[in-house]
Chain A
Amino acid sequence: MVGSDKFPVSSPRWLLAELTYTCPLQCPYCSNPLDFARHKNELDTQDWLRVFSQAREMGAVQLGLSGGEPLVRQDLPILVKHARQLGYYVNLITSGYKLDEDKIAELKDAGLDHIQVSIQAPERTLNNYLAGTDSFENKKEVARLVKKHGYPMVLCVVIHRQNIHLMREILDMAVELEADYLELANTQYYGWAHLNRDQLLPTREQFQEAEAIAQGYKEKLKGKMKIYYVVPDYYEDRPKACMNGWGTTFLTIAPDGLALPCHEARSLPGLNCPNVRDMSIRDIWLHSDAFNKFRGFDWMKEPCRSCPEKTRDFGGCRCQAYLFTGDMTAADPVCGKSPHRYTVTEAIANARSSFQSGEGKPLVFRNVKNSKSLSSRMGKA
């Protein structure tokens, strides 16, 4: 099963460690699972140290520490230190909330390579509304301190209909804060973002306008700031090459130790993702059913199976296929060749009418209360 001649198994390059689902913020586009409040049994320090060592042995070299908010883990400096000694490039992906100068210096000493700070919007009221927390000034201060302590400074802004009209202001803010990298991440509609899609998905015109502005700055800032623009796949005709192919590059470990081929894979029923409490990273990567399930091309159906483009996009995202069609082996419905493309077109139309009428459900914020009530609605599945 593993590593047929046609599709040899590569080794993982990226390890995403979701250290906790706890977060002081409440972003309505959060990619954490809706029922995160159910998964409480967090890995302890020793578990993480072991996971880092085992994944490094397999060849992982980029390590993302995320969550939730990774800063709530008291053992963060210990984890960073161990990871750096193993030779990882250590990325901290944080909301920056309550990150102070002492901590920034302590983490630098421990060997942290880079801090990515996310800001919700380029002005206080909207930022605080979207974050569900009064955090705007604090975040900007953190961005300055990150820079001051010699880290490459990466600013991340998730883009959606509530802030897309501020694209110019977002870019100006990044310039003012002297970001080395700016990640303009169009929302990917999973988890909470999927729940709030009618309120978050911009119209095609809004996307085009925002993209043109970002492109203009990209030219202008060449050599000073790198701008990554994550395209919104709903408006594309072909899917993204999700995870660079299932089980080829990325390994995510959820707070409770579940090992996931993609950070949304928890939502796929019957996938039976293994847990690092029961299995080594080596066995998980090479031998678990979950990691082998969508490797290569044998699992595909039409139209992907006979499609010449399958080596480029691997049929797109399994989680998106499942969300739209109920079938995780279907083509990603974003694809123009998918018989389910109409479901994406419908989603776009629904969001547009909610935008034009100014009506629709209010945003559901990501917090424990909402997670608990959504979990009980989802049943004990």
Chain B
Amino acid sequence: MTDSNQGTLPFKPKSKLFEGIGSGIIRVSAFTALIGIFLIFVFIFKEAIPIFTSEAVQETASLDKMVFKQEFREGRDPLWSWAPNSRQPKFSLMPLVLGSIKAAVIAMLFAVPLAVGAAIYSSEFASKRWREFIKPIIEILAGIPSVVLGFFALIVMATVFREVFGFTYRLNAFVAGVALGLAVIPIVFTVAEDAMTSIPQSLRQAALAVGANKWQVSMTMVLPAALPGIAAGVVLGFGRAIGETMIVLMASGNAPLTTASLFDSIRTMSATIASEMGEVVVGSTHYNVLFFIGTLLFIFTFIINLGGDLILRRIKERIQGKVT
């Protein structure tokens, strides 16, 4: 049977013009963002260039001097020292890099188990109602301004920890790391939880149907399948931990030490820039070095975020079956 109305609906030909304009706008905004990032990098790096070109700057702040131990006085042991304002300025980056790494590692050790555990609970075990309660609350943590977290760490956590653990320094890497962890938890949680909930229900059923219990389904099927996503969350969280400034500025004690102890004060790269950039003489060696630190931070976080993103893309493809 044929319909006498066939082909009579008033379809409109699609406008090529609007399609062109639309995709044009999207392309321009994408490029603007890219150019923006590129320009930021250029402007930061520009101020760090004298480190590579100017002999006056290199006298105190050559790459070699920033990386390796220096002998500042005859007969004394060589050491890493960040003391930009002393009579004999010292620009070793090691205390700052070490401080950043210490704080970030403590933050991750604290945040990852909690965040992943919470994600497993929320995705696999919580009732629907509980889940709708937990998820927003953890995600609200992400919205707390870091200055508030820093303030909390400085006033409350530092005091409590000192009472409990008897720290020599009230403000130290441990306090800063745990506070930093609070900022990292929601990032890891959100990405990990999404990775787990995106595992299709049919796979859980298949696992149950061969006699797995709920715990086994979570641990031997969901968790391995979501692992790349969880790893991406961890990487993104690490990026945040390295770059975060306010919390460490307030809670770390800000002493550029190079001790192995996790309970000594530290100073991070980010906090150094934040606290010294305001007073530095523009164009001085110190100024150039601060920008060099900024460049390093930029590169670190860029690479970390890029890595996290690549992993995330891989997991999506894998779950859709494109990649072996």
Q: Tell me whether A and B are bound partners.
A: no
Interface residues of A (CB under 8 A from B): none
